[in-house]
């Protein structure tokens, strides 16, 4: 198939529809929401949609294990800490795919229209991510068990 044929191929009329999702707010963080898609304890994996309101920024954290990220819609901004200060690292448009092996301290922010991001995260010893305060002290951990409880409640609604 040539590039010209691929570019002119029709696109699906159906696009992501989140109208049936009851977004859960991350406790204590305005403008940050999630929806758990699945938890696989055997593979130590959590898949979820992460929704960021325009300009909403999450606290500094690190995904403990390997993480794949797909920007579904909007603009996803990532920040990294260098020399004791936060710096804009990437501006990720829809369709951006990235992965890392874990243990990467960062923060994330929704662009001018917000963002929906698909995260596929692998745990290490049951821990998905760790959250830190401004002095880089550990303040919280999110585990497979936490996400399993949320997933069970989602199905009960």
For residue 98, which of 80, 78, 128, 73 has the smallest C-alpha distance?
78
- Domain spans of the chain? 24-149
Q: 155 near 149, Cβ under 8 Å?
A: no
Q: Which helix (H) or strand (E) holds 125?
A: none
Compute φ and ψ for 8, nearest 5 degrees.
Answer: -95, 0
One pLDDT digit (tens) per residue for the chain, 157 residues: 455 556 666 777 777 888 889 999 998 899 999 999 999 999 999 999 999 999 999 999 999 999 999 999 999 999 999 988 999 999 999 999 999 999 989 999 999 999 999 999 999 999 999 999 988 999 999 999 999 999 999 977 5
14, 41, 52, 154 from 63: Cα distances, Å: 32, 17, 17, 23
CB 93 within 8 A of CB 75: yes
Give the position of tokens 């369709």: 95
Cβ neighbors of 121 (< 8 A, separation 6 or more) are 45, 46, 47, 48, 63, 65, 66, 67, 68, 128, 129
**pTM of the entire predicted model:** 0.89
Pick the CATH number of 24-149 from 3.10.450.200, 3.20.20.70, 2.60.120.10, 3.40.1080.10: 2.60.120.10
- Where do we find the tokens 């109208």? 19
């Amino acid at each position: 198939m040539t590039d010209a044929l691929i570019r002119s191929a029709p696109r699906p009329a159906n696009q992501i529809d989140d109208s049936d999702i009851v977004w859960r707010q991350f406790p204590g963080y305005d403008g940050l929401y999630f929806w758990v898609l699945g938890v696989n304890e055997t593979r130590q994996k959590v898949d979820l949609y992460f929704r960021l309101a325009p300009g909403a920024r999450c606290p500094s954290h690190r995904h403990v294990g390997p993480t794949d990220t797909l920007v579904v819609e909007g603009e996803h901004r990532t920040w990294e800490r260098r020399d004791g200060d936060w710096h804009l690292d990437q501006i990720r448009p829809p369709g951006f795919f990235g992965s890392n092996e874990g243990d990467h301290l960062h923060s994330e922010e929704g662009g001018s229209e917000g963002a929906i991001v698909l995260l596929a995260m692998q745990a290490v010893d049951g821990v998905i991510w760790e959250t830190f305060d401004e002095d880089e002290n550990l303040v919280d951990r999110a585990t497979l068990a936490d996400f399993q409880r949320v997933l069970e409640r989602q199905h009960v609604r």
